[in-house]
Structure 1
Amino acid sequence: MAFILSTPLSIWSAHALAAIYTTTYVGSIYVSKGARLSFSKAKAHLDFGYFRPKEKYERWRDDPDVIRARLAAVSIATIICCALATGPVRAIAGNELDRFTLLPLTLSHLGITFSGLLPFLVTPVLYLGPLYSRFLVGTLPFQRNWTYQEDFVSVFFSVTGIRNYVVAPITEEVVFRACVLSAYYLANASRARMILLSPLAFGAAHIHHGWEVYNRYGRSPAALKRAVVGTAFQFAYTTVFGFYCSYLFLRTGSVFPPIAAHVFCNVMGVPQPGYDIGQRPDRKLAIILAYLSGIFSFVYVLQRWTYTKDSLFWS
C-alpha cells in the first residue's frame, strides 16, 4: 500500500519528529511520578565494581514498583507516538487518503506486516559462538543444567523479565525503528541515511541511565568516571545494534524481525568469548571456531535471508 511522495517531508521535519518521538518515550518515565528515581545525596567511596547499599526511601531502576510504573509509562508513550505517526502519512497522502485507508496505510508504514521466517533466524546465526558455549555447559533449554522453573518461568515472567524481554523490546522497536524510520522514509531520506542516522536517537535515549549509575556508585569522582564510561559504551552498543535493526526493518518492511532480534539479544547478552573459553578451556579451539563461524555465516545470510519482495522501504 505505497503511494508516490509528491511533496515529501523535509529532512528537518523528520529530524524534528525523531526528536519528538524520543522525548515522548524517554520523557514519559519522568512525567510519571511513580516511574521517577530518587537517590540520597550522600557521597561514598567504594571498592571498584561495588555499588552502595540502597537506602530505605530511595527508588532505584530495578525496584518492582518503579518497573511497573515505567512499563505503563512507556506503553502509553508508544501509543502516543504511533498516533502521532498518522499525521505525516495523512499530510503526505493529501487528497488521496480517506478515513478508511488512513489506519492500514499508517500500519504499513509502521511495519505492522509479516515477513517470512528467515529474517528471524539471522540473529541466532550471529550468536553461534555463545549458543555453542551454552551447549557445552548444558544451559540451553532442556539440557541438564536448565530448569523450567528457574530458567524460564522465574526469568521471563518476573516483572524484570517482562520489562527486559517483552515491553522494552516491543516499545523501543516500535518507537525508535517504526516511528522514526517511517518519518525519514516520508522525507525521502536515503537508505544509508536512515540506517546510519536514525539509530542515534535510540542510542541517545539510553544516556539518562548514566545518572543512576553515578548515584548508585556513590556520587564520587570514580562514580562519575564509571557513569561516563558506561554510558559511552551503552550509547555505542545501542547505536550499533540500532544500525542492524534499522537494516532489518527497512529490508523486510516489518517491525517484527527487529523485535525478535531485540528480545534474543537481551536474552543472550553481549557475547563474551573470553568468559566462554574460561568455562570450558578444553574446548578453546572449538569455541573460537564457533564464534568465527557465526560471524562469517551472519555476513553471508544477512542480505540473502532478509530479502522481502514486498517491503515498502526496499522496493
Structure 2
Amino acid sequence: MVTIKDISAACGVSVATVSKALNGYNDVSKATKDLVCKAAEQMGYFPNSQARALKTNRTYNLGVLFVDDAQSGLTHDYFSQVLDSFKTEAERRGYDITFISHNIGNKSMSYLEHCLYRKVDGVVIACVDFSHPAVIELVNSDIPVVTIDHVFNNRTSIVSANRNGVRELIEYAYNMGHRKIAYVHGKKSAVTESRLGSFYKTMADLGLRVPSEYIQEGAFHEPPATGAATKRLLELPDRPTCILFPDDFAAIGGLNVIEEFGLSVPNDISVMGYDGIYLSQILKPRLTTFKQDTKRLGKEAAVQLAHLIEQPLTSLTERIVVYGKFLEGASVKNLNEK
C-alpha cells in the first residue's frame, strides 16, 4: 500500500508537506498541492481511514435512515434514485454509507443507538414515520441530521416543491376541459398534507367544487391500495373524468382497475401520476405526471450534511426547496375538442 512517505520521496518534499497538501492546508503553495495530489492519484494512494479518524475525530461514515411502509427497500423507484444521488455525492466527498435500522444481528436497538454504535458522523432521514419516537429521539440528538421531504424546526431539510407540482397537474387537467377531478392521495405525512392542501387550493382558485367522495386515501407505492380507491371512484353515480394518483407506481393499481371496468385511458377516463419515474414514460398510454428532481434532492442532502459535519460553526438550519418538471403524456383527454 502506498504511504505518504512514498509520495514524499517521489515528489522530493517532506512528509509534513505531503500531509498538508492532501488535507488542503493553505500554507502549501498551489504548485506543490498540484504536484502532490497528482502523484498520489498516479500512485494509487488511499488515506488510512483509522489514522484519518484519529486525526479528525470523524469516521467519514454517513448513516441513511430509510424505512417505507411498503417495505420496498431499494426497489422504491423514487427514493432509490434520491439515495443513489446522495451516495454518489457522499462518496465524492470521501464518505462511506451505512443504513440505519432497529436491529443488529439479534439485538434490537433504537435508531440513535445504532448511529452511536456505528459512530456515524451524520444521518440523512428519508421516507420514514417522522412522528415515531425513535425518529424524534435521533432528530433531537447531537448528531448532524438532514431530512428529505419533512421539515423539523431545528434541522436542515431538503424538500420537493410538492405544492407547485400538484398545482401544475390540476391546472393542466383544467385547461384540457376537466372539471370533475378526483385525488387518490397517500397515507398521512408531510408530503400528503402539502399536496392535498395544494389540490384543494388550486381547485378553489379555479372555481371548482370538490365532492368529499372525490378524495380517496390510497398509499404511496402500493398499487393494491390505489386500485381499491379507484374502484370506489368508478362506482360513484357521478364519477370523475380525471384522477390524480399519489405516485406513478401506485397509479398502476388504478390503471388495472380501470381496465377491469372495461374502460380505456384516456378515452373513457383520464389519469395523472406523480414522480416522473422511468416506468411512467414507457406505459401505454404514456403517463402525464410531474417529475421530481431526484438527482438534486440526493446531492443537496449530501452537500448540506457534509457542511454540517465539516463546518458546524458556520452552518445554519435551512429549508431548501427543489423544483421539478411537468411531463405531458397521453393519459389526459382533451375534453375541449368536439
Is the TM value for this pair above 0.5? no
- TM-score (structure 1 length as normaliser): 0.25
Query: Larger strand proportion, structure 1 or 2?
Result: 2
Query: Larger helix proportion, structure 1 or 2?
Result: 1
Higher RCO (CA-CA < 8 Å; seq separation 6+) = 1
